[in-house]
Chain A
Amino acid sequence: MRFLCFITALLISSASLAESVIQFSWNTNAGPLNPHQTSPNQMYAQAMLYEPLVRYGEGGTIQPWLAKRWERSDDGKRYRFFLREDVRFSNGDTFDAQAVKLNFEQVLANIEKHNWLELINQMDHIAVVDKFVVDLHMKTSYYPTLQELTLVRPVRFMAPSAFPDEGHTGQGIKASIGTGPWVRTESVLGVKDVFERNPHYWGKKPAFDKVEVAVIGDPSARALAFESNLVNFIYGLEGQISPDTFSRLQKNPDLHTDISAPLSTRLIALNSGRFGTRDKVVRQAINHAIDREGIAKGIFYGTEVPAPFLFAPNVPYADVGLKPYDFSPQRANTLLEQAGWNLNTATGVRVKDAKPLALELIYHGHDANQKAIAEVLQANLKQIGVELALVAEERSRFYNRQKNGEFDLIFNNTWGTPYDPHSFVSGMRRPSHADYMAQVGLPNKASIDALIDQLLVSTDKSKRKAQYAELFNSLHDQAVYLPVTYQRVVAVSKPELGPPTMSNTVFDVPFSDFVQQK
């Protein structure tokens, strides 16, 4: 009997000693995990190791994180951050104002690489006020400063002792040492990355000991890995798992599945500078003709939802009460008829000034979802007498067409949280963006750009709100965008992990929120 008790106790203790592991997968290795660099560093992994001063909360609210509070000067040019005093890097070093200053200075030393981000362009200098108080001085009153400080890179913090001895972090780092809940303990190229709990973590300790991230490049292979228990957690936007597979897994009562709030918009830009789409009525008719509901259900199995507007209402400043273009081929036909686009019954294509309403939609040839949407849109537009030719392009040529405005219609996406709406609208002013090219033929393009200039440095929130409303109303009325669906992150977890939580951005994968299941 004593022996049996001993064996039982041994079994119980060994079960409790067994490591609890979240088995995730990603299409490539995590990279060197340099917080101040882009590719090949993977953002999901950078977010596990490195933390921001402030975090992006629901609906774009800014929440304290490494900074427990902050103050903004009246002119909007100085931000004072009061840091938590209990934060240690994973090597035991103290996180303090000096570490913040040194990190920002490393980023500024490599400004050429980061100047696409307006926050970095607008940073003037950083001053240590006290051991745990730091001032960020800006060149202008750039209002999205706090929002951009939530980004995964390049504004998160690594231990200054891990900086290179010479040069800056853009040229490499000694080790990946952050303040986040995880540390990377192993990386096997082409096989996996392993993360373990940070023993010095200041916040709530993750319930699981390890996160093992297998390198799996193909969504179907990822689904098979999940079904054969090699992976127990899937999380991400399109490309992580196909919508039909997710829909199938949703029906399995043993699994936990969830879908996030909209995080970005899948859209098609209509070129206001080219024949056909130059006519506002044509653009509005196209907006009436597209069957968004059919696309969301038929192609995305409900993982994406119809997008009547450029930004979902949960995006800051975007809920401005616009009237959607409802799905009505009849209304589209009436609009075109009234504008003098008469149907040629022989060809089935509308004509004006002896020119047929024939347009080209450019899509990325490797993107199966874009191709499927393009085919639906082609059929939708045929109903209203618009001939749509589908043109598949190789990746870089696709971006080149966006950049040079060589399109009638072209696929695009908003930048997603936390970049929306400010970074997306900021890009509308840059000639190398598809949005600029799409808007170039608008009669009020100059006033749109001026409005964006003003709202980005506006210090009065209510005034800024009105400016955004004016901008979104104008763009919606001009119908220069054809919003298709709102993209959402999907998550599937096995019973041993319990239900996943959904984070407010694409790249913060909520590994730390899982609770051990009994």
Chain B
Amino acid sequence: MLKYIVKRLLLLPPLVLAVSLVIFMFLRLSGAEPALAYLRAASIPLTDQSIALAERQLGLDKPIWDQYWHWLTHAAQLDFGTSYMTSRPVWDDILYFLPATLQLSAFALFITLALSLPMAVWAARYRDKWPDFSIRGLAFIGVSIPNFWLAFMLVLLFAVQLRWLPAMGYGGLSHMLLPGFAIAFMSLCINARLLRASMLEAQGQRYVRYARMRGISERRIERTHVLRNSLLPIITAVGMHIGELIGGALVVETIFAWPGIGRYVLNAISNNDYPVIQCFTLLLTMIFILCNLLIDIAYALLDPRIRLEANA
């Protein structure tokens, strides 16, 4: 196992290097001109002079390979440059904003798991009865609703009409409930359906029949034989959900005025703020790679039949 992990970690630097090159070049080949976006954001009229000055100040007047080499060598030392829009160091900003996003995403992941598990068990236990139909119906709605729309509806109901929860802002659990649920809803619906299907499949296995014949209670069979054997697909799904949840947080944060990285990055994207886009994309790539690695390890721990070393 250790050998496998080390191998995967060793693959990380070349992968990150390749990704950095792709991001850098794609941004520059897109035809966008960050100096123009920068000047307009600063309410400075576009003149040949002001554009030339802005390009010089932003380092965009140098040949593209020089720009890349300069960025790469500095990025290796965690210096990702200065944001065109905020004039602050990008890495400092990312370190400032990212924890709030991770906090919200982690909370959404918690909601996903905490709600999808009982929903799936309930649906599987009462297969083709009203609890099953209602959860399947809810799951269908869940995967169809965009998270930003759900976010607005939740605020209207719980903050504006009922006044039970704060409409927005950064704070404790009460501030996280609405954005967390808005982000988690789709994932929890997918999870519930996935786990339900997996449980129904497990219920048909021979070891479940034998357990029944041994006179073990239904609840115990459900808990120890069905549920535990159905969890493996959920682990895979969680790997996918992490991406969904972080992506969802980026959009939903704007609605809830949550001081995460979402608003910062969306603003950077619409203003062609290259240093921010480059740093964030690279960071997200690393988060995804590491999450996948963790999922693989979790697989091995949960199911001894899987041997990572053999696959490696």
Contact stretch, chosen from B69-77, B125-133, B165-173, B297-305? B165-173
Contacts of B48 in A (CB 8 A): 431-432
Given A214-B169, A400-B36, A112 and B53 contact (CB-CB distance below 8 Å): yes
Q: Please tell me if the beta carbons of A427 and B44 are within 8 angstroms of each other in the complex.
A: no
**B196: Cβ under 8 A from any A Cβ:** no
Q: Are A395 and B159 within 8 A (Cβ)?
A: no
Question: B110 an interface residue at 8 Å Cβ cutoff?
Answer: no
Q: Does B182 contact A (CB under 8 A)?
A: no
| Residue B38, interface by CB 8 Å | yes
Q: Convert A189-233 into 0s and 1s, putting 1 for each residue whose CB lies closer than 8 angstroms to a CB of B.
A: 111000000000000000000000011111011001101101000
Instruction: Determine the residue in chain A with the shortest Cβ distance to B39.
Output: A399
- B77-117 vs A: 1/0 string, CB under 8 Å? 00000000111000000001100100000000000000000
Say if the beta carbon of A509 comes within 8 Å of chain B. Answer: no
Bound CA span A381–B294, Å: 59
A216 touches B96 (CB 8 A): no
Which chain B residues lie closer than 8 Å to A230 at the CB level?
Answer: 166-169
B208 CB within 8 Å of chain A: no
Contact call B255/A218, Cβ cutoff below 8 A = yes
Q: Which of A190, A220, A415 contacts B97 (CB 8 A)?
A: A190
Please, what's the 1-or-0 string for B36-47, where 1 marks a CB less than 8 Å from any CB in chain A?
111011111111
Chain B residue at minimum C-beta to C-beta distance from A218: B254
The yes or no answer to A39 lying at the interface (CB within 8 A) is yes
Candidates B40, B45, B155, B259; contact of A395 at CB < 8 Å: B40
Which of B15-23, B228-236, B239-247, B267-275 binds A? Answer: B267-275
How many angstroms between the C-alpha atoms of A39 and B97 in the bound complex?
20
Q: Is the CB of A38 within 8 A of B42?
A: yes
- CB-CB < 8 A to A38: which residues of B? 42-44
In the complex, what distance in Å separates the CA atom of A400 from the CA atom of B32? 9
Query: Do residues A227 and B160 form an inter-chain contact, with CB atoms below 8 A?
Result: yes
In angstroms, Cα B170 to Cα A421, docked, is 43
- Do residues B43 and A228 form an inter-chain contact, with CB atoms below 8 A? no
Q: Which residues of B contact A228 (CB under 8 A)?
A: 155, 159-160, 163, 166-168
Known: A215-B257, A224-B155, A230-B168. A399 touches B97 (CB 8 A): no
Q: Would you call A355 an interface residue if the criterion is a C-beta within 8 Å of the partner chain's C-beta atoms?
A: no
Interface size on B, residues (CB 8 A): 52
Q: Does B24 contact A (CB under 8 A)?
A: no
| Distance from B100 Cβ to chain A, minimum over Cβ atoms (Å) | 8
Indicate whether B50 reaches chain A with its CB closer than 8 angstroms: yes
Residues from chain B with Cβ under 8 Å of A298 in the complex: none
Residues of A close to B40: CB separation below 8 A: 395, 399
Q: Are B34 and A221 in contact (CB under 8 A)?
A: no
A40 touches B44 (CB 8 A): no
**Are A189 and B259 neighbours in the complex by a CB distance under 8 Å?**
yes
How many A-B residue pairs lie within 8 Å, measured between CB atoms?
Answer: 128
A113 near B: Cβ within 8 Å? yes
Query: Is B152 an interface position by the 8 A CB rule?
Result: yes
Q: Would B255 and A220 count as touching, CB distance under 8 A? A: yes
B49 at interface, CB cutoff 8 A: yes
Cβ B264 vs Cβ A190 within 8 A:
yes
Name the distance in Å between A11's Cβ and chain B's nearest Cβ: 24
Q: Known A38-B42, A395-B272; judge A432-B85 contact (CB<8 A).
A: no
The residue in A216, A230, A396, A397 that gathers the most chain B C-beta atoms within 10 A of its C-beta is: A396
Interface centre among A40, A366, A430 (most CB of B within 10 A): A40
Does A115 sit within 8 A of B, measured CB to CB?
Answer: yes
Which residue of chain B has the shortest Cβ distance to A189 in the bound complex?
B96
Instruction: Return the contact of B51 from the options A43, A113, A432 (Cβ within 8 A).
Output: A432
Q: Which residue, A190, A214, A220, A415, has most C-beta atoms of chain B within 10 A?
A: A190
For A397, list chain B residues within 8 Å (CB): 31-33
B173 to chain A, nearest CB (A): 18
A214 / chain B contacts, CB cutoff of 8 Å: 169, 257
A191 with B267: in contact, given A399-B46, A432-B48 (CB under 8 Å)? no
B263 CB-CB contact with A under 8 Å: yes
Please give, as numbers and ranges, the residues of chain A lying within 8 Å of B259 by CB-CB distance: 188-191, 215
Which residues does chain B contribute within 8 Å of A227, judged by CB atoms?
160, 167
A280 at the interface (CB under 8 A from B): no
Are B272 and A396 in contact, CB atoms less than 8 angstroms apart? yes
For A395, the chain B residues whose CB sits under 8 A away are 32, 36-37, 40, 270-272
Minimum CB–CB distance for B32 against chain A, Å: 5
Additional A-B contacts beyond A112-B53, A402-B46, A433-B46 (20; CB < 8 A):
A39-B85, A40-B85, A40-B87, A113-B53, A189-B96, A189-B97, A215-B257, A217-B263, A221-B254, A221-B255, A224-B152, A225-B168, A228-B155, A395-B271, A396-B33, A396-B37, A399-B33, A399-B40, A403-B36, A403-B46
Identify the B interface with A (CB < 8 A): 30-38, 40-51, 53, 85-87, 96-97, 100, 152, 155-156, 159-160, 163, 166-170, 254-257, 259-260, 263-264, 266-267, 270-272
Interface residues in chain A, defined as those with a beta carbon under 8 Å from any beta carbon in chain B? 28, 38-40, 43, 112-113, 115-116, 188-191, 214-218, 220-221, 224-225, 227-228, 230, 366, 394-397, 399-400, 402-403, 415, 423, 427, 430-433
Ordered by A's residue number, 19 sampled pairs between the chains whose C-beta atoms are within 8 Å are A39-B85, A39-B87, A43-B43, A188-B259, A190-B96, A191-B259, A214-B257, A217-B254, A217-B263, A224-B155, A227-B167, A228-B155, A230-B167, A230-B168, A366-B270, A396-B32, A396-B35, A400-B36, A415-B45
